[in-house]
Structure 1
Amino acid sequence: MTDLAGRTALITGGGSGLGAAIARALHGEGADVVVVGRDTAKLDAVVGSLGDRARAAICDVADPAAVDRLAEALEGVDVSILINNAGVPGPVAALTDISVEDWDAVFDVNVRGTFLMCRAFLPGMVQRGTGDVINVASVSGKRPLAHRIPYCASKMAVIGLTTTLAYEVGPAGVTVNTLSPGPVAGPRMERNFRLEAERSGSSVQDAEQAFVSRSALGRMITEEEVGRAVVAMLAMPGMCGADVDLSAGMVA
C-alpha cells in the first residue's frame, strides 16, 4: 500500500503478538525495523524471521533509564516511525479487588512507557520536520468492559495523550495517531477468557462467545489485520490526532 523503503520503524512490544505482526507488515513494505522488548529470545526470533533490515533492542519502556539507553544506542539512526505497542493486560477483577501495585503495573507500561518513548524519539522527528507516531490503544474503555478497569483506563489515557500531542508536534510535520484494536485472537485473549470463566463459573467457550457477540462481525480481529492497518495509516499523511477503531464492529 505504501513504500517505506529508507525509513526506520521502532516497534515496542515487538517480540510477539501485535508487535511482531506490525514489524512484519512494516518490514514487508520496505522499512528497516527495530523491535524492542524485554525478552531476548523472542526478539531474536522475530529478527531471524525477517532477515536483513531488522534488529533487536532490549528495553523496559517503563524504565526512564532504560529508554534513555535505548535512545543512546540508536543515536545516528533516524527513527521516523514510532509504534508504541508495548502493553500489559492487567488484572481481571472488580475494582475493589485490585491492588495499588496491580494498578501501577498497568499504567507504568501502557501509559508511562508511551510517554517515555515519545519523549525520547520525538525530538529527532521534530528536528527533521517529519515522522509518524502510532500509539496502540484499544476499544476497551470506549465501551464497558467489566473487571478490566486498569487496562481500560490506561488505554483511554493513551488516547488522550495522543490527541494532545498531535497538536503539539503537528506543526513540525510529525503526525501522531492511535490505533484502537478490538479483541485480537491470540494468547492474551485466551488468557482473559480463562480468567473470566474462572471468575464467573462459566466455560471458556461461553466466555469467548459472550465477548465476541458484542461485535458487529461476531468475531475477533487478527494480528495480521492490525499490521495492515498500521501500514494503511502511514499511507494517509493527512491523518493526525485520529483514533482509528479496528474492532470487527466492537464499538458498534
Structure 2
Amino acid sequence: MSGRILITAGASGVGRAMAEAFDAAGAQIWVADIDAKALADCPSHWKQSQLDVSDETSVAATFIDIETEWGGIDALCANAGIAGPTAAVEDVALTDWRACHSVNLEGTFLCSKYAAPIMKRQRSGAILITSSTAGQYGYPNRAPYAAAKWGMVGLGKTLAMELGPHGIRCNVICPGSVEGPRMEGVLQREAIAKGMTRDQVYSGYASGTSMGCFVQAQDIANMAVFLASDAARLVSGQVIAVDGHTVNPDPKL
C-alpha cells in the first residue's frame, strides 16, 4: 500500500510492529515516541519525532513538521498509552488517575485534533485508535486504565461521525493481552494485588479467552494495516477486538 503513516509510541512494542508492517506494505513511516533511545534504534529511512502526546505544544509541532515534510497524512495510528496503576479503587491516587488519562485519552484527543484539519483539507484519511478490551469490559483493580480506554472508544465513534462527511474514517482497535514487557509489568503488579503468582495471573488472562492465548503485537499490526487500506474504505466507527475472543475478563482462579 502507498500512504503516509504516523504511529505514536511507534518505536517499540505494538507501535513498532505497526511501523514494520506498514513499511513492509510499502507505506512511508513516521514514528513518534517519548523514548529517544528506542527512536535511535529505528530504521534510518523512517522519519521520527520525540513526542510526549500529553503535551499539546509537542503534538502541534510534530504535525507542523509532518505537513511541512509530507504535505499531508493518510493515517494516524494513535497508539501511545500507559498501563496506569494496578490497585483497588480506594488506593488509586488522583495524580496516577490523571497521568493515565493524560497519556491514553487526552493524548489520543490531541493527536486527532491536529490530524483532523490536515485530513479535512485533503478530503481523506484514517484515524486508528489503539484502545483495549479494557475499553469493552470492566477490569477490577484497573479503574484508571479501563476508564481511559472506554473514553477512547467513545472518542473514536464520535470522530467517525464528525469526520465521515469529510472523507475521513475512524476505527478503534481493542487488543487483548499482548505478549511483551508492558503486559509483563501488569502481570507482576496484579499478582501482588491479588495475592497470586505471576503464572497464575497469566493463566487466568489466557483462559479468559475462548482461544486460550495471549495476542502477539503482529496481530494488532495486521489489523491496523487492513483498516488503513482501501480494502477497508467503508469500515468506520467500528470497535474491533483482536483478543482471541475474551469471554471472561476477570477469571477467578
Under a length normalisation based on structure 2, what TM-score does the superposition of the two structures give? 0.93
Of the structure 1 ranges 37-46 and 56-65, higher mean CA displacement relative to structure 2 is found in: 37-46
User: What does residue range 115-154 of structure 1 map to in structure 2 within 5 Å?
Assistant: 115-154=109-148
Shift of 1:122: 1.1
> Quick check: 1:72 aligned with 2:68?
no
Q: How far apart, CA to CA, are the structure 1 residues paired with 2:36 and 2:196?
A: 37
User: What does residue range 212-251 of structure 1 map to in structure 2 within 5 Å?
Assistant: 212-234=206-228, 235-251=231-247
Contact 1:14–1:37 (Cα < 8 Å) also in 2: yes
1:41-92: CA deviation from partner (whole Å, max 9, x where unpaired): 101212x2xx43x111111010011111112222332111100000000000
User: What does residue range 156-195 of structure 1 map to in structure 2 within 5 Å?
Assistant: 156-195=150-189
Shift of 1:200: 2.1
> In structure 1, the residue corresponding to 2:61 is in which secondary structure?
helix
Q: CA RMSD in A?
A: 1.2
How many residue pairs end up in the alignment?
Answer: 244
> In structure 2, the residue corresponding to 1:220 is in which secondary structure?
coil
Percent identity of the aligned residues? Answer: 31
Q: How far apart, CA to CA, are the structure 2 residues paired with 1:34 and 1:142?
A: 29
Of the structure 1 ranges 69-78 and 151-160, higher mean CA displacement relative to structure 2 is found in: 69-78
The counterpart of 2:83, out of the listed 86, 89, 98, is: 89
Shift of 1:251: 4.6
Contact 1:14–1:36 (Cα < 8 Å) also in 2: yes
Q: Sort the Cα spacing of 1:90 and 1:243 in 2 relative to 1 into closer, same or farther, 3 A.
A: same
Under a length normalisation based on structure 1, what TM-score does the superposition of the two structures give? 0.94
> In structure 2, the residue corresponding to 1:91 is in which secondary structure?
coil
Contact 1:142–1:251 (Cα < 8 Å) also in 2: no
The counterpart of 2:16, out of the listed 20, 25, 30, is: 20
> Quick check: 1:208 aligned with 2:202?
yes
Unpaired runs of 5+ residues, structure 2, are 249-253
1:147-185: CA deviation from partner (whole Å, max 9, x where unpaired): 001100100100000101111110110001101111101
Contact 2:7–2:79 (Cα < 8 Å) also in 1: yes
Q: Which runs of 4+ in 1 moved over 3 A?
A: none
The counterpart of 2:51, out of the listed 39, 59, 74, is: 59
Q: How far apart, CA to CA, are the structure 2 residues paired with 1:250 and 1:174?
A: 30
Of the structure 1 ranges 37-46 and 67-76, higher mean CA displacement relative to structure 2 is found in: 67-76
Contact 1:64–1:116 (Cα < 8 Å) also in 2: yes
Contact 1:111–1:155 (Cα < 8 Å) also in 2: yes
Unpaired runs of 5+ residues, structure 1, are none
The counterpart of 1:34, out of the listed 24, 30, 36, is: 30
Shift of 1:95: 0.5
Contact 2:135–2:152 (Cα < 8 Å) also in 1: no
